Chain A
Amino acid sequence: MQEILTISFEENIKLDPCLFWAEPYGSDLIDSLDALGQMIPVLVHRDGDSLVLIAGYKRYQSLKKLLKKIKALRIDAPDPWDKGVAYLLSNQGQGLDPGRIIRALRYFKPLNKDMHSIYQILGIPERAREKHLYKAWLKLPPVWDELLIKNPQLLPNAHALSLLEPQDLEVLFPFLDGLAWSRNKARIFLELLDRTSSGKAGNIREVPGLLNLDKLLVKDLTPRDKMEAMLKVLYRAAYPEYYKLMDKAEKDINRLTSATGWSCIHTDHFESQDLEFRIRVRSPGELKVAADQLRKMADSELLSHWPVSP
């Protein structure tokens, strides 16, 4: 049975959990309600003596603020699934981002029905990679949804995260919470943690402590510097031999080019022996000096062992 009710703005209506997108309302909605009045009723059902709002949260809040009466369509108490679907459909057309999508999915998931139609309403095609990512994200504890709401860039890492044990997730949470990881940096961060733990620590949860990442996290650095510093530490832990040689090579290069205007780099991870030398000169005189320096460097002992011996 349905009926149209007119409710006083003073009456307190309960909010149903199906209002998974309930958010603070904006002034443009208040203005339009003030100017045009309420065109569409909000949706409620009765629970004992109280009314429970199941759709129209923003309209309801705005009308209360305007001290206006609220038109409501009362329907028979639907089951949670139908309530959710009604809410979803009444909010269709609103911009969807990973945060909103995960809130909707999180509501429907425990209701144990076929989620197919929900993905459809949310505009996620059956075979889309995105669907797998959301499914993986739903395996994480609900508290992780807040991270996705703050940083949608984390979604592509859902699968990697979903494979971690609860204790690992707990340790990782603060590392992903405060810092605005890009999609790629977050992937590298997780991959390096995995690498390091497989080689040394045994568990991801032990890596931050072992490598003092937790200390870096609370250090007085910008979030960007913190992320850079953590990745650097992790790279060194995951590729110890590589960095040992890299450090030696850098030391040799510095000695080679010291007291010259030349810079020198190697970019091939030691797969080639190539070095790139670079200098900027402003006059033929400077060029002559640079040529002399280059000749001296070519004769240097340091280059005869470059880059490695077995």
Chain B
Amino acid sequence: MAGFTVNTPSVHDLPAYLSPPEHILIDPEVLNAQLTGRVLSRLPGIPWSLSTDQRSGPRAQASGIDSGKQNSFILYLKHYKGRFLRYCPGTRNYNCCAYRIMHIGENCPLNCSYCILKAYFQDRIIKVWANQEDLFKELELKLRPGNRLFRAGTGEFTDSLALEPLTGYTGDLVQFLGNYPNVCLELKSKIINLSWIKKVSDPSRVLPAWSVNSQEIIKTQEQGSAGLEERMRAAAGCAAQGFRVCLHFDPIIHYPGWEKGYALAVETIFDYLRPENIAYLSLGSFRFMPELEKMLMRDESRATYIYNEFITGLDGKKRLFLPLRLKQFAFIAKHLKDKGLLDRHMYFCMESSYVWTKVLGYTPEDLGGLDRHLLRLSFDP
């Protein structure tokens, strides 16, 4: 195609979940950025072009490039102008863990049926904020060492590590944060990539985190992701190198046979980890924007769980009817406790104090607030 440049062709050495992008779109401002150079050098043979139409956005430009093939995507190296450090968009009606989001990009190469990003970004453009120096400048300003403590993570609008083989973003970030002992960085993922470890100066300030689920859900709904055993093997590897890990039972899905599935998932976790390896573990029931429900019903025959009893919650999102949620939470929490995980190391993602009391016997207020509690758990083993 006219105006496109093609790198020297070569075979890409990428993990199975990550096919090379069909095209790379680059904002002119970041053409010479270190990250752009790295991505291009790791993707020889992939055509790239400068984004020309900043006004109508990459979507319009990409629509002429996207072949629409399954699993294909366009990688957009963007000159991001917004705020990099943000608050988690929790809502007033449920208890939020209040962590800070380090925004490094949007969208994800994996294909989880329930992924909320589908409803947010209805395209196959994966964006990476390539102006890292702006990110670091903003972080320098806001995180000044010695100031207050921060618990932050990159896995809100993308999987923290899925693009690491292409971008090396997390490696750069942990290296930068080596100078900020007041920051604890959580890296939430469903794949295995530990390439960033060699750049970590203090393992107590990085929390590798995996989303965990039953084998059935991982196999049928989290296409491209690593199996639970693989995830836990990697977690054990991290623990052996002095890291504590975080686990997120999220989304917990109510499907026929869930008891067996989640009991086995807990077993698997503790086949690899000891309770003290886990900084904290969250329990989050599947919740979604109403738009996602329509998309799943229309496009995802594998997502049969969507026909369950979901009601509209106080935040306008859909969530499983409370008694069903409580049953699942109580069941999983009991299995975790039986394995020795202290209930103070568990928390609920976006649940009411009523749910906390019913399952754990106390509320986030009893812990001094969920944000403070998790901050303590992040920093103090």
Residues of B within 8 A of A273 (CB): 354
- Tell me the complex Cα distance, A197–B322, Å: 23
Instruction: Say yes or no: B326 contacts A269, CB within 8 Å.
Output: no
Instruction: Say yes or no: A198 contacts B323, CB within 8 Å.
Output: no
B330 — nearest CB in chain A belongs to which residue?
A310
- Taking the complex as formed, is B195 at the interface, i.e. its CB lies under 8 A from any CB of chain A? no
Instruction: Say yes or no: B321 contacts A310, CB within 8 Å.
Output: no
Instruction: Say yes or no: B354 contacts A242, CB within 8 Å.
Output: no
- Taking the complex as formed, is B309 at the interface, i.e. its CB lies under 8 A from any CB of chain A? yes
Which one of B129-137, B147-155, B310-318, B363-371 is at the interface? B310-318
Instruction: Say yes or no: A271 contacts B311, CB within 8 Å.
Output: yes
Instruction: Say yes or no: A270 contacts B326, CB within 8 Å.
Output: no
Instruction: Say yes or no: A270 contacts B307, CB within 8 Å.
Output: no
- Taking the complex as formed, is B19 at the interface, i.e. its CB lies under 8 A from any CB of chain A? no
Residues of B within 8 A of A112 (CB): none
Total contacts A to B, CB within 8 angstroms? 58
Residue of B93, B307, B319, B323 touching A241 (CB-CB under 8 A): B323
Within 187-223 of A, Cβ neighbours of B (below 8 Å) are at 191, 194-195, 198-199
Residues of B within 8 A of A39 (CB): none
Residues of A within 8 A of B311 (CB): 239, 242, 269-271
Instruction: Say yes or no: A194 contacts B297, CB within 8 Å.
Output: yes
In the assembled complex, how far is the CB of residue A149 from the closest CB belonging to chain B, in whole angstroms? 26
Instruction: Say yes or no: A268 contacts B314, CB within 8 Å.
Output: yes
In the assembled complex, how far is the CB of residue A203 from the closest CB belonging to chain B, in whole angstroms? 14
Instruction: Say yes or no: A198 contacts B358, CB within 8 Å.
Output: no
Residues of B within 8 A of A199 (CB): 307-308
- Taking the complex as formed, is A245 at the interface, i.e. its CB lies under 8 A from any CB of chain B? yes
Given A271-B314, A309-B358, A310-B330, decide whether A159 and B298 contact each other with a Cβ distance below 8 A. yes
Instruction: Say yes or no: A271 contacts B309, CB within 8 Å.
Output: no
- Tell me the complex Cα distance, A25–B311, Å: 51
Within 304-358 of B, Cβ neighbours of A (below 8 Å) are at 304, 307-309, 311-314, 319, 321-324, 326-327, 329-330, 352, 354, 358
- Taking the complex as formed, is A304 at the interface, i.e. its CB lies under 8 A from any CB of chain B? no
- Tell me the complex Cα distance, A194–B314, Å: 25
In the assembled complex, how far is the CB of residue A133 from the closest CB belonging to chain B, in whole angstroms? 14
- Taking the complex as formed, is B359 at the interface, i.e. its CB lies under 8 A from any CB of chain A? yes
Instruction: Say yes or no: A269 contacts B298, CB within 8 Å.
Output: no
- Tell me the complex Cα distance, A289–B184, Å: 59
Residues of A within 8 A of B304 (CB): 198
- Tell me the complex Cα distance, A269–B313, Å: 8
The interface residues of chain B, by DSSP majority, are classed as: helix
Instruction: Say yes or no: B324 contacts A241, CB within 8 Å.
Output: yes
Residue of A191, A245, A271, A310 touching B358 (CB-CB under 8 A): A310
Given A159-B298, A195-B307, A198-B304, decide whether A270 and B358 contact each other with a Cβ distance below 8 A. no
Instruction: Say yes or no: B312 contacts A269, CB within 8 Å.
Output: yes
Given A241-B323, A270-B321, decide whether A310 and B312 contact each other with a Cβ distance below 8 A. no
- Taking the complex as formed, is A272 at the interface, i.e. its CB lies under 8 A from any CB of chain B? yes
B326 — nearest CB in chain A belongs to which residue?
A310
Residue of B93, B314, B326 touching A308 (CB-CB under 8 A): B326
Interface range for B: 20 to 34
- Tell me the complex Cα distance, A195–B309, Å: 9
Most buried by B among A199, A238, A310: A310
B297 — nearest CB in chain A belongs to which residue?
A194
Residues of A within 8 A of B329 (CB): 310
In the assembled complex, how far is the CB of residue A186 from the closest CB belonging to chain B, in whole angstroms? 15
B294 — nearest CB in chain A belongs to which residue?
A191
In the assembled complex, how far is the CB of residue A207 from the closest CB belonging to chain B, in whole angstroms? 13
- Tell me the complex Cα distance, A95–B256, Å: 53
In the assembled complex, how far is the CB of residue A197 from the closest CB belonging to chain B, in whole angstroms? 9
Most buried by A among B308, B312, B327: B308
Instruction: Say yes or no: B321 contacts A239, CB within 8 Å.
Output: yes
Per-residue interface assignment for chain A, residues 281 to 297, with 1 indicating a CB less than 8 Å from any chain B CB and 0 otherwise: 00000000000000000
B310 — nearest CB in chain A belongs to which residue?
A239
- Tell me the complex Cα distance, A194–B307, Å: 8
In the assembled complex, how far is the CB of residue A223 from the closest CB belonging to chain B, in whole angstroms? 27
Residue of B298, B326, B352 touching A272 (CB-CB under 8 A): B352
Instruction: Say yes or no: B323 contacts A308, CB within 8 Å.
Output: yes
- Tell me the complex Cα distance, A163–B294, Å: 14
Given A242-B309, A310-B359, decide whether A270 and B322 contact each other with a Cβ distance below 8 A. yes
Residues of B within 8 A of A159 (CB): 298
In the assembled complex, how far is the CB of residue A13 from the closest CB belonging to chain B, in whole angstroms? 48
- Tell me the complex Cα distance, A194–B297, Å: 9
Of the A-B pairs whose beta carbons lie under 8 Å apart in the complex, a sample of 22, sorted by A's number, is A198-B304, A199-B307, A238-B307, A238-B309, A239-B309, A241-B323, A241-B324, A242-B309, A242-B311, A242-B321, A245-B323, A268-B314, A269-B313, A269-B321, A270-B323, A271-B311, A271-B313, A271-B322, A272-B93, A272-B354, A308-B323, A310-B359
5 pairs of A and B residues whose beta carbons are closest in the complex? A310-B326, A269-B311, A198-B307, A270-B322, A239-B309
Identify 17 new A-B residue pairs, CB closer than 8 A, beyond the known A239-B309, A271-B314, A310-B326.
Answer: A191-B297, A194-B307, A198-B304, A198-B307, A238-B309, A239-B321, A241-B323, A245-B323, A269-B312, A270-B311, A270-B323, A271-B311, A271-B313, A271-B352, A308-B322, A308-B326, A310-B327
CB within 8 Å of A: which residues of B? 93, 297-298, 304, 307-309, 311-314, 319, 321-324, 326-327, 329-330, 352, 354, 358-359
CB within 8 Å of B: which residues of A? 159, 163, 191, 194-195, 198-199, 238-242, 245, 268-273, 308-310
